[in-house]
Structure 1
Amino acid sequence: MRSIWKGSIAFGLVNVPVKVYTATEDHDIKFHQVHGKDGGRIKYNRVCSECGNVVQFADIDKAYLSEDGTQVILTDEDFDKLPAAEKHEIPVLQFVPSEQIDPILFEKSYFLEPDSASPKAYQLLASTLTESDRTALVHFTLRQRTRLAALRVRDGVLVIQTLLWPDEVRAADFDKLVDAAAPSDKELSMAKMLVESMSEDFQPDTYTDDYQIQLQKMLDEAIANGGQKVSVPAAAAHAADAEVVDLVAALQRSVDAAKSGSGKDGATAEKPSKSAKRAPARKTG
């Protein structure tokens, strides 16, 4: 497993050096398009609709088309001017009760590995989150995009889960539910009995993707009858750095700063701005 990001968590005045790894993987079998007659790969050229020429990646920019049909072209230099959180720091914004985060907001998950000579600061943060039953809201910048994310603990390992912004969750506004009749006591009682009869502890390993299993079996049989194999080169490993943190002193300064309402440099500590909230959720069409 190769790390995709390297930096530190800013926990008050304590820095927790970490490496970030993608926590999940897609097991869906990938296919490419071929000519059914001879098996040749289908290739696509990047052709300009104006001049008809094939365009190289280096000459491709991003364009935005407004609702009135106005097109704006932005270059890499334009994107570099946009504000972003620290690219090698995961700042903790605040700690919130874990049950207050709606699971629908969760997007993608990442494992965090301690990246220092001693994992003491890492373990301290993980233990604190576990015992306080809190989740840290953080800013996480990956691939030049800053997201709001939840930092929590899973089996002793720190996990970052990027969150959707509130306006990215569509409002479930269904007319048929407005005047729907409530279930009767008898219906509700029978439904609860059914739920109770089917209730068990969640054991994800008991569930399997039968479609993928049968598809893989079909492909294995085809390969055994003369299919072609493609080798993928291994990715290069990244070197690690080390950092020693004086936890007690840094924690004491963090607590003192929090009590006095001052930041690292004596300035007033910033809180999430209410005016910075995004627009309300869109309704489904």
Structure 2
Amino acid sequence: MRAIWKGAIAFGLVNVPVKVYSATEDHDISLHQVHNADGGRIRYQRRCEVCSQVIDYSDIEKAYEDGGRTVVLSKEELKSIPAESSHEIEVVQFVPSEQLEPMMFEKSYYLEPDSKSPKAYVLLRRALEDTDRVAIVQFALREKTRLGALRIKDDVLVLQSLLWPDEVREASFPALEESVRISAQEREMSAALVESMAADFEPEHFTDDYQVQLRKLIEAKLEKGDSLDTEETFGAEAGEGGKGEVIDLMEALKRSLDRKRGGGAAAASGDDGSDSEEADAEEEAKAPAKGSRTATKSTATKSTATKSAAETKTAAKATASKSTAGKPAAKSESAAAKSTAAKSSTTRARKGA
């Protein structure tokens, strides 16, 4: 085990230096998220909602929002709080163990003597044994002031962090306020059922079946070869413990192109190339040379479009000119026709006369 914290128990005038270790651990199998199409690791980024930039952890501060106003608290300001910088486990009173509400227990820590002589450590342990009491302590750990109980387990001092009283909710259920009648026979039968299932608690007899089955499933897939090469899938980021850094985009694109050139497997699996297009867009945004070529290409396209528009406009003007020129001609022809018709009518009239 690795110590997570060092401090000292203040027991009256006695000072007991100790190292603090987590007494419990999570046995759940750690799973992460991947893209179902190619097995690529899904990463989360710390992105600012104002400037949309990915922010380094060193540039992140904590804040509190109240009524539409945000108060930013710097690391230095938080460290200035006395309880935060204290490495003292202060014993405030000794109480009977039965007075502690189990619901208040939060997390357990082992305390190891951190001095050349463990005499002070053993003295405190003997005091708790002789009085059959638990020490209530206050301490600071991981940016929080905590309440705790100091007791003994197998000759080792155990510090159990406790919830504060206002962190335990009050149970208030109207249904339980109703009057319910239970007969003596029902009570006897329920008591008999309890006796039939009575036993001493032996935690080693209990197993987390879900985690066992999950482990079997993983091992079976590994044996069948139903797995991906982590180095190829996650690249250099795989060995960094999931820091959430942006991967080398050029290297990722190179691997993608190599896969596509190596065979039609990706096409056969229904890959429509959309990921490659998005990657190309990101590469163009990051690589100035490619961005310049793209800009040049875009400029050429615009020039072509402008030229086409000019030609179209010119052609339209020419057509309009022809049309305009044709209209006067048509009017002249019409006038000539009318004049000829008028002359013919006059001649016919004279002849009739």
Q: TM-score range by the shorter chain?
A: 0.7 to 0.9
- Distance apart, 1:85 and its partner CA: 6.4
TM-score normalised according to structure 2 size: 0.62
Aligned length, in residue pairs: 232
> 1:4 corresponds to which residue?
4
- Greater shift in the superposed pair: 102-111 or 38-47: 38-47
Three-state SS of the structure 1 residue aligned to 2:29 is: coil
Matching residue of 2:212: 213
What residue identity is the alignment partner of 1:53?
Answer: Q
Does residue 119 in structure 1 map to residue 118 in structure 2?
yes
Q: CA deviation at 1:184?
A: 2.3
The question of whether the paired residues in 2 share the 8 Å contact of 1:17 and 1:114 is answered with yes
Q: Which moved more, 1:33-42 or 1:82-91?
A: 82-91
Q: Show the counterpart of 1:164.
A: 163
Taking the aligned partners of 1:119 and 1:184, their CA distance within structure 2 comes to 59
* Counterpart residue identity of residue 169, structure 1: V
1:29, 1:157 → 2: CA distance?
29
Instruction: Show the counterpart of 1:108.
Output: 107
Describe how 1:236-255 pairs up with structure 2 within 5 A: none
Higher share of residues assigned helix: 2
Contact 2:84–2:141, Cα closer than 8 Å, also in 1: no
Superposed counterparts of 1:136-175, under 5 Å: 136-175=135-174
The separation in 1 between residues aligned to 2:175 and 2:68, in whole angstroms, is: 36
* Matched residue, 2:195: 196
Which residue is equivalent to 1:251? none
Give the aligned partner of residue 29 of structure 1.
Answer: 29
Residue 84 of structure 1 aligns to a residue in which SS?
helix
Deviates more, 1:112-121 or 1:79-88: 79-88
Letter in 2 for 1:3: A
User: 2:272 aligns to what?
Assistant: none
Structure 1 residues 182 and 231: alpha-carbon distance in aligned structure 2, compared to 1, 3 A threshold: farther
When the two chains are superposed, the root-mean-square deviation of aligned CA atoms in Å is 2.0
Q: Distance in 2 between matches of 1:102 and 1:232?
A: 43
How far apart are the structure 2 equivalents of 1:36 and 1:21? 39
Tell me the SS of whatever aligns to 2:77: helix
Q: Which residue of 2 aligns with 1:178?
A: 177
Partners of 1:170 and 1:188 in 2: CA distance: 30
Whole-angstrom CA distance in 2 between matches of 1:101 and 1:86:
28
- Superposed CA offset, 1:122-161 (max 9, x none): 2221122123111101112212322010000112110000
In the alignment, residue 30 of structure 1 is paired with which amino acid?
S
Match of 1:47 in 2: 47
Deviations 1:172-227 (A, max 9, x none): 11010011414322222211111111111111111111111111111112223334
Q: Does the 8 A contact of 1:62 with 1:73 survive in 2?
A: yes
Structure 1: 5+ residue stretches without partners: 234-285
Percent identity among equivalent residues?
Answer: 56
Q: Based on CA coordinates, which of the two structures has the bigger radius of gyration?
A: 2
TM-score, structure 1 normalization? 0.76
Q: Is the 8 A contact 2:8 2:87 kept in 1?
A: yes
Equivalent in the alignment of 1:84: 83
TM-aligned CA deviation for residue 14 of structure 1: 1.2
Code of the aligned partner of 1:25:
E
Q: Is the 8 A contact 2:78 2:84 kept in 1?
A: no
User: Cα distance, 1:89 vs. partner?
Assistant: 1.8
Instruction: Give the aligned partner of residue 60 of structure 2.
Output: 60
**Corresponding letter in the other structure for 1:60:** I
Contact residue 85 and residue 139 of structure 1 kept, 8 A: no
Instruction: Answer yes or no: is the 8 Å Cα contact 2:83–2:140 preserved in 1.
Output: yes
Question: Given residue 53 of structure 2, which amino acid in structure 1 is its aligned partner?
Answer: N
Tell me, yes or no, if the aligned pair for 1:112 and 1:157 is still in contact at 8 Å: yes
Residue 62 of structure 1 deviates from its aligned partner by 1.4
More strand by share: 1
Matching residue of 1:280: none
| Kept after mapping to 1: 8 A contact 2:84/2:143 | no
Unpaired segments of 5 or more residues in structure 2?
Answer: 231-237, 242-353
* CA positional deviation for 1:231: 7.7
Per-residue deviation, 1:23: 0.1
Distance 1:169 1:5 in 2: 27
Residue 90 of structure 2: SS of its match in structure 1?
strand
Q: Which residue of 1 aligns with 2:69?
A: 70
Q: 1:103 to 1:116 in 2, by over 3 A?
A: same
* Number of the residue aligned with 2:250: none
C-alpha displacement of 1:22: 0.1
Quickly say closer, same or farther: Cα 1:73–1:167, change in 2 above 3 A. Answer: same
